[in-house]
Amino acid sequence: MSVLITDIQRTCLHDGPGIRTTVFFKGCSLHCPWCANPETIFFQKEYYYDESLCVKNNNTCICNEKCPILRGGSIVNFNCPIHAINIFGVQYSSRDLYDEIILDLPFFRDSGGVTFSGGEPLLQLHRIRDLLRRLINAKIHICVETSLFVPDFFLKSVFEYINIFYVDLKILSSEECKNLLGGDIKVFYNNLEILFLQKVDMIFRIPLVNELTSSQQNIDLICNVIQRYRPLKVECFNVHQLAEKKYKLLKKTMPRFIPPSEDVAKKIKKVCVEANIPFIFMKM
């Protein structure tokens, strides 16, 4: 079976312990307004046009006469020689992914490994469990970055292969989660409880978004979750604008958010310190 991948990034330093190879799955169960990977939201391949690469106007492109962009047409499956027309989403088999990951084995050493991100990797990982088994046999450390907004079958079918789950804590009130993210908060809490009862290693990540995740009510809910589920570590970060070019390629406008008050992170840190849980504020 195959899965849809948007990117494979190498020598990553913030997606788990050590040096990581991060694999981005296409398709997500949420639509967060601050998403840093908009190309991973939809489950289908998406073609895009990067005008900054295009040479159509200086008559040096061999495809000028039939270029759909030059002729005012729609982007289709077109083999642009300089990749000004390209695609988000490539099918990979388990073997394909293993061959890509194993290239970085010398960098992993004792602490590095592979991190599956997205999008929502849990929506597809069950299709390539043979890859997970091969990675374990090769003694490659596995992390998954997840929102946990998936049917519990997807979680239960793979959690035995995962060393660390990076769990996003976003909007935890039921109504706002549904209206703003398109998620059912009961699904999140059910899956979080499954991981907790199985004593799976978890690290919580909290995107701080002014007036959304950083509201007083939501921070109180986040602190309650930290106190109950006691992760290995808590990481906070302010959302950034680094994905602006990807939004433009998809012909979308990237929302802009004012950074929340420093008091928000301080409150979360205080709860972590009192519970003896390591806290890190990540600067993106």
Query: Splitting the chain (284 residues) into consecutive groups of 10 residues, what average pLDDT does each group show?
Result: 95 93 98 95 92 75 66 64 88 97 92 96 97 96 98 97 98 97 98 97 96 94 98 95 89 89 95 98 84
Identify whether residues 55 and 146 lie together within a single domain. Answer: no
Q: Which residues of 132-143 are buried (b: 16+ CB within 10 A; e: fewer)?
A: bebbeeeebbbb
Identify whether residues 171 and 34 lie together within a single domain. Answer: yes
The vertex-273 CA angle with 261 and 187, nearest 5°, equals 75
Tally of domains in the chain: 2
Identify whether residues 31 and 171 lie together within a single domain. Answer: yes
Identify whether residues 278 and 198 lie together within a single domain. Answer: yes
Distance CA 169, CA 236 (A): 10
Identify whether residues 125 and 76 lie together within a single domain. Answer: no
* Domain housing 105: 2-45+89-282
Tell me which of 56, 84, 112 is where a domain ends: 84
Identify whether residues 66 and 114 lie together within a single domain. Answer: no
Which helix (H) or strand (E) segment is 12 a member of? strand 2-12
pTM reported for the whole predicted model: 0.93
Identify whether residues 31 and 53 lie together within a single domain. Answer: no
Identify whether residues 73 and 63 lie together within a single domain. Answer: yes
Tell me which of 23, 57, 84 is where a domain ends: 84
pLDDT, residue 78, reads: 67
Q: Are 94 and 122 in contact (CB under 8 A)?
A: no
Identify whether residues 79 and 181 lie together within a single domain. Answer: no
Identify whether residues 186 and 274 lie together within a single domain. Answer: yes
In total, the chain counts a number of residues equal to 284
Identify whether residues 137 and 9 lie together within a single domain. Answer: yes
